[in-house]
Amino acid sequence: MRLNRQSLLGIAVAAVAVPAAVAVIPTAQAATGPDLLPLTVTNDSGRTEAVHLYVLGESGGKLGYVDADGVFTPWTGGANPPAPAPDVSIDGPANGASTTIEVPRGISGRMYMSFGDKLDFKLSQDGGLVQPAPWAAGDANSDILFDWSEFTYNDSGIWLNSSQVDMFAVPHKVGVTGSDGTTAETGELKPGGRDAVVAGLVTDTDFAKLVQTRDDGTVLRVLAPGKGADAGGFDPDYLAGYIDEAWDAYADTDLTVKPFADQPDKVFTGRTAGDTMTFTDATGAQVATITKPATADVWGCDGNLAAPNDLVVGPIARSLCAALQRTTLGSQSVEPSTDASTFYRTSPTNEYAKLIHANMVDGKAYAFAFDDVANQESLVHSGDPTAMSITLTPFR
């Protein structure tokens, strides 16, 4: 199983929710990866602007940053209101070149990349890092082309993923190489994929509002629907009618939830009564109740769909959130559906996630927090890594 990402990264932020898209970290075993794991960033973007890189995260219970040599330094100097963080950017590669950064074992965080201007980070009085939030009014980074990947590197290995949970901006793929020399990669867009995602969204009156463009005509990003609603440009009740119908579908019939692919006999059965869905286990004992979520709960996979790191309520909530995002709930008797051909077929649906997945070479993406349900996520892992990579791929 996977755990809620919020329990792993732990980056304190004043205005930004902690990202929710990295994998579960199993119980630590003997270290198999090197103390410093090389991360090679290759620029195949075709763009001419300078690239700036940032490796930020948590290590040893402290928030901080990593320099190019792999030295982790905790943040200091926060204030109220938040004060500017020091410039900890690392010079990235020019188009056609590569840059290698060392990443120390025992850190979980993000690698940001920006084109042209450097990013604006701030530190709060309690030591929290205020990260870029272009969906928030007045954010200093709103006119910068940037994105990030997420990672955790510990004694059990490396987990690295691209993320579109908050927004879709810079095309990039991620990779890890194991001690056997095998490299696994994911997150690569099809040729012209970025333009195809944007073009598909602008044809929809609602989703067109999620596209953010700079005054010079550069398409900077597409906000995820939840962030678009936060920004005030997207209908906050977009899924309300669908949620009502999907919820009511199980008033007279069972919903069977099988959250563990490796435990097919672990089954929970749900029925709705009004706004409450009650689940029982195989013995008939009541094990969970979930209140009908609002659209915001679905977009964020939180609120009424918050998933604790347990073996019952969390897996049920994750399965429901994925089913509502993919609009399979209400038409399936068993969730989660593992057949991607059943996803995003109901209207309204999450056109953002649908288009991003459709334009990935392997169909994998992290278009919402629990996109790892049914293994749809753009994640690579190695228990005995020798290297990892992030490649900035062509925009067209």
Question: pLDDT tens-digit profile of 221-232?
Answer: 999 999 999 999
Contact 168, 327 (CB under 8 A): no
Contact 85, 74 (CB under 8 A): no
Opening angle at CA 348, ends 343 and 354, nearest 5: 40
pLDDT at 22 over 70: no
Q: Which two tokens stand for residue 210?
A: 């999620």
- Domain borders along the chain are 6-21+36-205+359-392, 240-347
Opening angle at CA 5, ends 33 and 275, nearest 5: 155
Who wins on pLDDT, 362 or 26? 362
For residue 236, what are the contacts with CB-CB under 8 A and spacing of at least 6?
Answer: 229, 295, 296
The Cα–Cα gap between 135 and 167 comes to: 9
pLDDT at 14 over 60: no
- Give the H/E segment covering residue 32: none
CATH number of 240-347: 3.30.920.50
Length of the chain: 396
The Cα–Cα gap between 256 and 166 comes to: 30
CATH number of 6-21+36-205+359-392: 2.60.110.10
Residues facing residue 151 across a β-bridge = 109, 160
Per-residue confidence (pLDDT) for residue 11, from 0 to 100 = 35
The Cα–Cα gap between 165 and 167 comes to: 6
Residue-wise pLDDT tens digits, 333-375: 999 999 999 999 999 999 999 999 999 999 999 999 999 999 9
Question: Is 248 one of the annotated active-site residues of the chain?
Answer: no
For the chain, the C-alpha Rg in angstroms (whole number) is 21
The Cα–Cα gap between 368 and 344 comes to: 13
Residue-wise pLDDT tens digits, 233-268: 999 999 999 999 999 999 999 999 999 999 999 999
Q: Which two tokens stand for residue 117?
A: 């201007």
Question: Is 166 one of the annotated active-site residues of the chain?
Answer: yes
Q: Residue 165's closest CA among 246, 236, 110, 237? A: 110
Residue 234 phi, psi (nearest 5): -135, 140
DSSP alpha helices (H): ranges in 182-302?
A: 193-202, 225-231, 240-248, 295-300
Please state the pTM of the whole predicted model.
0.92
The Cα–Cα gap between 264 and 269 comes to: 13
Output the CA torsion 190→195→197→202 (10° steps). -160
The Cα–Cα gap between 295 and 249 comes to: 17
Per-residue confidence (pLDDT) for residue 252, from 0 to 100 = 96
Catalytic residue, candidates 58, 139, 147, 166: 166
Q: Which two tokens stand for residue 276?
A: 């409450």
Strand order in the sheet with 255-257: 286-291, 276-280, 268-273, 255-257, 334-335
For residue 242, what are the contacts with CB-CB under 8 A and spacing of at least 6?
Answer: 324, 327, 330, 346, 348, 349
Coil, helix or strand for 255? strand
Per-residue confidence (pLDDT) for residue 336, from 0 to 100 = 97
The Cα–Cα gap between 312 and 44 comes to: 44
- Give the H/E segment covering residue 314: helix 313-325
DSSP per residue over 41-86, as a string? EEE-S---S-EEEEEEEEETTEEEEE-TT--EEE----BSSPEEPP
Residue 9 phi, psi (nearest 5): -75, -50
Residue holding tokens 């995602």?
197
Catalytic residue, candidates 150, 297, 335, 371: 150
Per-residue confidence (pLDDT) for residue 156, from 0 to 100 = 96
The Cα–Cα gap between 349 and 356 comes to: 13
Among 20-29, 69-78, 261-270, 360-369, the minimum mean pLDDT is found in: 20-29
Confidence band, pLDDT 50/70/90 cuts, at residue 127:
confident
Q: Residue 39's closest CA among 63, 66, 1? A: 66
pLDDT at 286 over 80: yes
